[in-house]
Chain A
Amino acid sequence: MLIDWFTVGAQVVNFLILVWLLRRFLYKPILHAIDEREKRIAKELADADAKQMEARKERDEFQHKNEEFARQRAALLSQATDEAKAERQRLLEEARQAADAMSAKRQETLRNEAHYLNQAIGRRTQQEVFAIARKALSDLATTSLEERLGAVFIRRLQEMDGEAKAGLAKALKTAPNPALVRSAFDLPAEQRTVIQQSLNETFSTAIPVRFETAPDLISGIELITNGHKVAWSIADYLLSLEKGVGELLKMKDKSEAPVKSQTEELQPESESH
């Protein structure tokens, strides 16, 4: 018989014991170790993933910050550039203004100098001309000239227009003091009489007159009473001439004011005179 039933039973028991022992000593510990390792690897992978995610996040954040920084820097730089430009513009403008002011001041000074020179020349010329005229007329003035002067004075009194005449008449009549007749030379008695008579005739009343000598009249006669004055003298003519020349000079000054260069402008002016 090939089958020994006792051995069969013993082998069954042996096999079952072997199953139990191997399960206890082989399969369970090995499978447990493998599971542990798998868990550990999975955990490590998860950790690595988490770390990678974190790193990516931090990198993104860093990049974002970097960009922000670059943007701010660019903004600051452009702001500084703009400010520098503005400052430069302002300084240039200031310098230009200062230069303009200096230039204007210089021009003004030049103009003033020219003006004063002009005035001085004009005044001097005027004075010289009048001095010459006065000297000539004084030299020429004689009694006969004075007589002629008296005649002219009388004619002018007579030729006075109505309104002026009435005013003067009123002034003569109401004046508390006698009317004053001034002349460059001492008038002779007959001439004084003629003037008295002509006054009386002209104003149809006896007018008290006081005669006075005033050499500054150069050559002429004037009647002064109560704020009114009737005069004729060469000095008057000279004064009016002087006035006319003065106005002429003033006009010239005005016309020269906007001109840049005094010398350039003075040249034609002087040529025209």
Chain B
Amino acid sequence: MRLSPDDIILWHYGFFKLNATIAVTWGLMFVLVVGSALITHNLSPGLRRSRWQNFLEIIVTAIEKQIQEVGLRHPEQYIGFLGTLFLFVAAASLGTVIPGYEPPTGSLSTTTALALCVFVAVPLFGIEEQGVGGYLKSYAQPTAIMLPFNIIGEFSRTVALAVRLFGNMMSGAMIIGILLTITPFIFPIAMTALGLLTGMVQAYIFSILAAVYIAAATRIRKPKPEPDARQ
């Protein structure tokens, strides 16, 4: 029983190996980047614009709005990280509609890598916002007694992030695989649809949790809901 696409090794040279996870990730990266570049190389600042531009604008502004709602005052500062998290996870799960596709997020290595990125990014954004002292002080909040719990929480939530995404994505692929052996018709399709839904939900949860961690680290209290001009 194969649990992870990491096990599919395409190329191997000593320590270096090219497995399906990395290859599919590259494929996703290629699609995302080239698609974006193709659409954005000819953007119109006027009122008339292409459907693809509208599509990308909707996505970007929606992400921006979500980040803002979490409590980060300058979404453009975090959209590169948080938006990419969401888009990558969402694209990985969207790919499940392609037969024979192995979502890279169904590999614990990939989710761990993403969780590690969050684990590193949170203190970096916190330090950027409050300085090293201010960020470190936040571990002793509200009292010094909370210091060990805060540190434990920092690690445990990273692990939770990684395992949650991996579990969901892996289980989706797994269920489809099992169902295919039991009932090759109808049910796999329904489960694939369900898998698409869970995949999108996981993408949302992953990026929103990362945003919440960053918001907590930057200690920015949720500001009053500002009138959003882009709605």
Interface residues of A (CB under 8 A from B): 2-12, 14-23, 25-27, 29-34, 36-38, 40-41
In the complex, whether B100 has a CB less than 8 A from a CB of chain A is: no
Interface residues of B (CB under 8 A from A): 3-4, 6, 15-17, 19, 21-22, 25-26, 29, 32-33, 36-37, 40, 43-47, 49, 53, 56-57, 60-61, 64, 76, 79-81, 83-84, 87-88, 104, 107-110, 112-114, 116-117, 166, 229-230
**B80 to A, closest residue via Cβ:** A23
Q: A31-B76, A33-B57, A34-B57 are in contact. Are A25 and B33 (CB under 8 A)?
A: yes
A33 CB contact (under 8 Å) in B26, B53, B229? B53
Which residue, A8, A9, A14, A36, has most C-beta atoms of chain B within 10 A? A8
Q: A30-B40, A34-B61 are in contact. Are A8 and B32 (CB under 8 A)?
A: no
Kindly state the separation between the CA atoms of A37 and B54 in the bound complex, as whole angstroms: 13
Which residue, A4, A20, A23, A29, has most C-beta atoms of chain B within 10 A? A4
**Dominant secondary structure of chain A at its interface with chain B:** helix
- Flag if B33 contacts A11 (CB, 8 Å): no
Kindly state the separation between the CA atoms of A40 and B46 in the bound complex, as whole angstroms: 8
CB distance from B97 to the nearest CB of A (A): 21
- Flag if A37 contacts B47 (CB, 8 Å): yes
- Flag if A11 contacts B25 (CB, 8 Å): yes
Task: List 10 additional A-B contacts (Cβ < 8 Å) besides A22-B84, A33-B49.
Answer: A4-B4, A6-B16, A11-B113, A18-B84, A26-B60, A27-B76, A30-B43, A31-B64, A33-B40, A34-B57
Q: Which residues of A contact B44 (CB under 8 A)?
A: 33
Q: Which residues of A contact B45 (CB under 8 A)?
A: 33, 36-37, 40
CB distance from B197 to the nearest CB of A (A): 24
Kindly state the separation between the CA atoms of A8 and B17 in the bound complex, as whole angstroms: 12
A8 CB contact (under 8 Å) in B60, B87, B112, B229? B112
- Flag if B88 contacts A18 (CB, 8 Å): yes
Q: Which residues of B contact A10 (CB under 8 A)?
A: 22, 113
Q: Which residues of A contact B64 (CB under 8 A)?
A: 31
**B19 to A, closest residue via Cβ:** A7
- Flag if B117 contacts A4 (CB, 8 Å): no
B6 CB contact (under 8 Å) in A7, A12, A37, A41? A7
**A37 to B, closest residue via Cβ:** B45
26 residue pairs bridging A and B, Cβ less than 8 Å apart: A5-B109, A6-B15, A6-B16, A7-B107, A7-B109, A8-B110, A11-B25, A12-B117, A14-B113, A15-B84, A17-B29, A22-B32, A23-B80, A25-B40, A26-B32, A26-B40, A29-B40, A30-B56, A31-B64, A31-B76, A32-B43, A34-B230, A37-B45, A40-B45, A40-B46, A41-B47
